[in-house]
Amino acid sequence: MVLRSCLLALLIGWAGSISTNLEVAESTARRLFLQAQHVVKNDIAGLEAIVSDTMIAATKDVKGARAVRHTKVFDTSFRNNLVIIPCLVVGSPLLWIWYKSELVSKADEIFTAVDADLREVEIARVGASGVALLRRQCDRHTGIMFAFTGIMLQTIFLYFIAVYCCTRIHIEARLQDTGAPTPIALIFCSLFCNTMTCSASLILGLKCWATKAPEGYQRLHKALVLLDSFVIPSVSAVVGALYLCTSNGISSLVFSSTSMAFICSINSQIAGLMSWSLSGHGGRAFQPANVSIKDSENSTVYAHYSFAASALIAVITLPLGWVLGII
């Protein structure tokens, strides 16, 4: 009992010590100490009831705060659930073509390309556009499944970035929300680099499109090249431009630029993992992690076009972003 009184007096004295008026705090602490001592002597049960009620109330508050915090972890709004629509639009044709493909080659048969002007390239540099060109059929099937996974991941990322850009434009138009200023020159450089990265995928896609795939994989090869080298880079160039313009400050712009580079390279990274796996048990007769693509296209001319297109898109996007209010 005496120990409880001492602890209570110390707590009350500590609370009173933070007051600006020291004399008033000391008198208040003495008065509360006497009241607490009186209560302890006469009604110990009442004091224990008060402490118990206080602990119960505090526990309920903590549980309520945890419940509210857990409910805010996951966003299950209708707008976010609509991501299933682009996933079905992209994934359904791929699965249908894969199901209808007439795979006549044997599992252990080695495919050898017979086209002219071929160049051997590691699968990590080609990504999903070259998995149907792998020489061994079992490796080809593994690469196609990895390519499906990478394309679906890119689709999901691009959907949520597009939704974020639309929401940001709406907020800027209604509330005129101003964030940290971003240097125009740095935005221009980010737009230029993003477009150049997407243009590199387009140039590689032209080479892969002209390459003949193994028998039974032609339609699937065309579909993968179309999505991985043309559709996704084009969408990334448009959505990425808006996403970069919505950046607030230099750090936010650098993060956005890194995010777009990561999204564009998802399939290459997955193919890089597959490259390590294939090279470990392929033998020495051929390089299982390499694919042969047709190199008859003039890459230098397309590189000049990409350079001009990147500068043009950056110049057009800057005033457009200013009109929309996101710069």
- Residues 147-191 have pLDDT tens digits of 999 999 999 999 999 998 888 877 776 665 556 678 888 999 999
Residue 280, pLDDT above cutoff 60: no
Q: Give the model's pLDDT for residue 189.
A: 92
Radius of gyration in angstroms for the set of CA atoms belonging to the chain, rounded to a whole number? 32
pLDDT per residue over 211-261, tens digit each?
Answer: 888 888 889 999 999 999 999 999 999 999 989 988 888 888 899 999 999
Is the entire prediction scored with pTM above 0.75? no
In this prediction, residues 253-273 reach a mean pLDDT of: 88
Q: Compute the distance between CA of residue 58 and CA of residue 44 in angstroms, rounded to an integer.
A: 21
Q: How confident is the model at residue 15 (pLDDT cuts 50, 70, 90)?
A: very low
**Cβ within 8 Å of residue 8, ≥6 positions away:** 33, 36, 40
Please report which confidence band the pLDDT of residue 57 belongs to, taking 50, 70 and 90 as the band edges. low
Q: How far is CA 6 from the centre of its chain?
A: 56
Q: How far is CA 228 from CA 79, 131, 182, 210, in A?
A: 26, 11, 32, 15
pLDDT tens for 79-118 read 788 889 999 999 898 888 888 776 655 556 777 777 777 8
Q: Which burial class, exposed, middle or buried, applies to 9 when counting CB atoms under 10 A from its CB (0-12, 13-18, 19+)?
A: middle
Question: For the chain, which residues make up each domain, given as ranges?
Answer: 2-71, 78-324
Q: What is the mean pLDDT of the chain?
A: 76
Reported as a single tens digit per residue, the pLDDT across 84-94 is: 999 999 989 88
pLDDT of 7 higher than 60:
no
pLDDT in tens, 132-149: 888 888 888 888 888 999
User: What is the spatial distance between Cα 267 and Cα 184, in angstroms, rounded to a whole number?
Assistant: 31
Query: What is the pLDDT at residue 152?
Result: 94
Question: Which of 158-162, 202-206, 296-300 has the lowest average pLDDT?
Answer: 296-300
